[in-house]
Structure 1
Amino acid sequence: MRTRIALGLVGAVALVGALLTLGPSAGAAVPDTVPLKITNNSGRAEQLYVYNLGTLLSTGRQGWADAAGGFHAWPAGGTPPTPAPDASIAGPAAGGSATIRIPRFSGRIYFSYGHKLDFRLTTGGLVQPAVQNPGDPNRNILFNWSEYTLNDSGLWLNSTQVDMFSAPYAVGVQRADGSTLSTGHLKAGGYNGFFNALRGQPGGWANLVQTRSDGTVLRALSPLYGVETGALPANVMADYVNRVWQKYATTTLTVTPFADRPGTKYYGRVSGGVLNFTDSSGAFVTGFRKPDAASVFGCHRLLDAPNDAVRGPISRTLCAGFNRSTLLVNPNQPDTTTAAFYQDVVTNHYARTIHAQMADGKAYAFAFDDVGQQESLVHDGSPRQAYLTLDPLS
């Protein structure tokens, strides 16, 4: 089951799955800090800046870590937001590597090229960059971030495109036995391939791409932000959602949300405009009104997924089915046969294009892309070292 871990960032949620609900603690096998080797294969000559921001799990305090893994709490913020202390760490030059230490955080590793990021503090905590806002001071900076949690049960480290697709990178971890896991690398030419494909997709998808005045391609916004800003039509998913509602007015949708509990099933039928679910005894457990595109792309609002044992697991399964457009071809969800993903003309073309360009096919292209283990995530209970590799923008 997926658990969302708060980062202490205003408007932000870490998207690393199953972090605090796992089994026995690894205890002393997990050190207080783990080395993170950052390798700059970007080919870009600009100064690289690195940031390690998050919540210290031992105290719940928000702050940042220096290169040695030392924790620094944020000072009080204000209204309007006040500038945050400079938490930047000088990153390695192109072709080089540098190692920092990451503490027991639920946090993010940001990196930016050529310019430091502008972070602000409100009375509620850190304000993360919101480049869907034309007035955000970071809008014209090329940057990206990875997410991680380090706790008693080990290290989880992912690459993410939930909010945007931008400067490419991969993550990795060296396990206790010396072997290494990695994910997040694009195929050769995958960076340009993604943007070319998105620009060629009719229906407003090209409007997700943001370019700087000097011609630098900065990012593609997620379709959630596209809908919220008007770059994508608000009805971009309506035809597919309507067809799903029609199908399940006369057909039963079976959801088996836990791979390790195949006997736990829920049965959905549309009645009175609501997709109602019952359990194996026939008792009603939860219902969903017809979701709009923002609910589908954001896996929230009408597809809200609380961290509970019933509605959340059903909702995340529906979210994956809508984004991957598998609900019409398979009444048994989740569908984990990737050949059926994104085949409908109405689908999340942003997520489709990202997965098509990944070397291993794995990505976090929407919030519950971990359904069916399609996420770009590495984990080890006794990590020796973590890796962040910045790849070419080509």
Structure 2
Amino acid sequence: MPHQLTRPALPLAAAAALVGGVLVLGAPDHAGAAVPDTIPLKITNNSGRSEPVYVYDLGTQLSSGQQGWADANGGFHAWPAGGNPPTPAPDAAIAGPTPGQSKTIRIPLSGRIYFSYGQKLDFRLTTGGLVQPAVQNPSDPNRNILFNWSEYTLNDSGLWLNSTQVDMFSAPYAVGVQRSDGSVSSTGHLKSGGYNGFFNALRDRSDGWAGLIQTRSDGTVLRALSPLYGVETGALPASVMDDYVNRVWQKYTTSTLTVTPFADQPNTKYYGRVSGNVMNFTNASGAVVTSFQKPDADSVFGCHKLLDAPNDTVRGPISRTLCAGFNRSTLLVNPNQPDTSAAAFYQDAVTNQYARAVHAQMADGKAYAFAFDDVGNQESLVHDGDPRQAYLTLDPLS
């Protein structure tokens, strides 16, 4: 089945969509490109694992809009036509660095950089494009492969590169960018022992969160699914957020939730009050601008469905603020949102325990643990308008 993204873990500067199972990334066009068509990506294998590593650069060539893959030299190759049922995609694998070594490739696309250990990933093509791995599906051919990916946009405005746990927490890695002055910015490293610490945090709970963990028949821990996929597959109880959502709805029946969605527009405010099953938001004039039905866990974890966030200037910004507040459980303790104080996040007994564990194990506290984790600048993202080199560091699974 095609992989359906909840929300690409990319900056607001980048627009994204999933077309026929293909991740299509882009950003505003700018005349007079200051950024080369390709930049070097230095991949360092600090994983400590002995298996071969395979790397893939998949996505969309912004200059042509074509979907395809890139070779190690940055050469672009458009995907051939797919079929129904899906047909095997061309082998886009690049041999990665051996343990303790580095390898530099050139990246020309905007999309995803996959890496896998010990086995090549199985990509297929449908009539609509590339089928992304969807390991929440037990029959997905990549289900028993240890792999992960990073997402990026490269265009005339520079490079945006992030680590992501929006869909799953798996083989750890960090990303970085070298600026024109030679300095390097990086993010995504776990604390020492953070990989095992994350899984232990889920295992130590008795309320179903350990059900997110997937292991191979040989005992290898492969990943933890995001709670969105946990709910969708039944690995996590669908009622897991009900108590918190009900308390939020009760509170704002008699009080007002104030949302100031734009940090640079402090006078743009919306006011939420609950009436029955609906939270209505009004503007400063008292006119209702948008309304939300009481969300379920699926909507909260995916920031979609009942918390849909269109790319507009009103509903989308309010929805992303609500989504962050529900996942971080800040809506009861602070009637002014977004709450950007990380010390206040995940303190309620009912919260996104997956996101809580991810952030707790990050060396800098930054992560993309759910779709709108960039609210309040909590995301694991590097960006530079004049990048000289990008970095992908494969870290130990310990």
TM-score range (shorter-chain normalised) is: over 0.9
Q: CA deviation at 1:202?
A: 1.8
- SS of 2:33's partner is helix
Q: Which amino acid counterpart does residue 6 of structure 1 have in structure 2?
A: A
Q: Which amino acid counterpart does residue 20 of structure 1 have in structure 2?
A: A
Q: Which amino acid counterpart does residue 260 of structure 2 have in structure 1?
A: T
1:212 aligns with 2:223: no
**Maintained 8 Å contact 2:278/2:291:** yes
**Maintained 8 Å contact 1:8/1:62:** no
Partner of 1:84: 89
Cα distance between partner residues in 1 of 2:272 and 2:64: 42
1:312 aligns with 2:322: no
- SS of 1:245's partner is helix
Cα distance between partner residues in 2 of 1:27 and 1:99: 27
Aligned alpha-carbon RMSD (Å): 1.4
With over 3 angstroms needed to count, the CA separation of the structure-2 counterparts of 1:203 and 1:275, relative to structure 1, is: same
Corresponding residue to 1:20 among 27, 49, 54 = 27
Partner of 2:369: 365
**Maintained 8 Å contact 1:33/1:101:** yes
Cα distance between partner residues in 2 of 1:11 and 1:90: 23
Q: CA deviation at 1:12?
A: 5.3
Q: CA deviation at 1:20?
A: 2.3
- SS of 1:143's partner is strand
1:6 aligns with 2:17: yes
**Maintained 8 Å contact 2:15/2:27:** no
With over 3 angstroms needed to count, the CA separation of the structure-2 counterparts of 1:147 and 1:7, relative to structure 1, is: farther
Give deviations 1:308-340, integer Å, cap 9, x for gaps: 010000000000000000000000000001111
- SS of 1:198's partner is helix
Partner of 2:69: 64
Give deviations 1:208-254, integer Å, cap 9, x for gaps: 00011111100000000000000111110000000000000111100
Corresponding residue to 2:49 among 44, 59, 82 = 44
Q: CA deviation at 1:74?
A: 0.5
Partner of 2:258: 254
Corresponding residue to 2:192 among 180, 188, 192 = 188
- SS of 2:151's partner is strand
1:54 aligns with 2:59: yes
Partner of 1:99: 104
Which consecutive residues of structure 1, in runs of 5 or more, have no partner in the other structure?
none
Cα distance between partner residues in 2 of 1:378 and 1:201: 33
Cα distance between partner residues in 2 of 1:73 and 1:59: 10
1:351 aligns with 2:355: yes
Q: Which amino acid counterpart does residue 60 of structure 2 have in structure 1?
A: T
Cα distance between partner residues in 2 of 1:8 and 1:320: 26
1:340 aligns with 2:344: yes
Q: Which amino acid counterpart does residue 190 of structure 2 have in structure 1?
A: L
Q: CA deviation at 1:9?
A: 6.2
With over 3 angstroms needed to count, the CA separation of the structure-2 counterparts of 1:26 and 1:111, relative to structure 1, is: farther
With over 3 angstroms needed to count, the CA separation of the structure-2 counterparts of 1:306 and 1:250, relative to structure 1, is: same
Cα distance between partner residues in 2 of 1:44 and 1:309: 47
Cα distance between partner residues in 2 of 1:8 and 1:116: 24
Q: CA deviation at 1:25?
A: 3.8
Cα distance between partner residues in 1 of 2:320 and 2:242: 19
Cα distance between partner residues in 2 of 1:216 and 1:9: 32
- SS of 2:147's partner is strand
1:223 aligns with 2:227: yes
**Maintained 8 Å contact 1:321/1:335:** yes
Partner of 2:138: 134
Q: CA deviation at 1:358?
A: 0.1
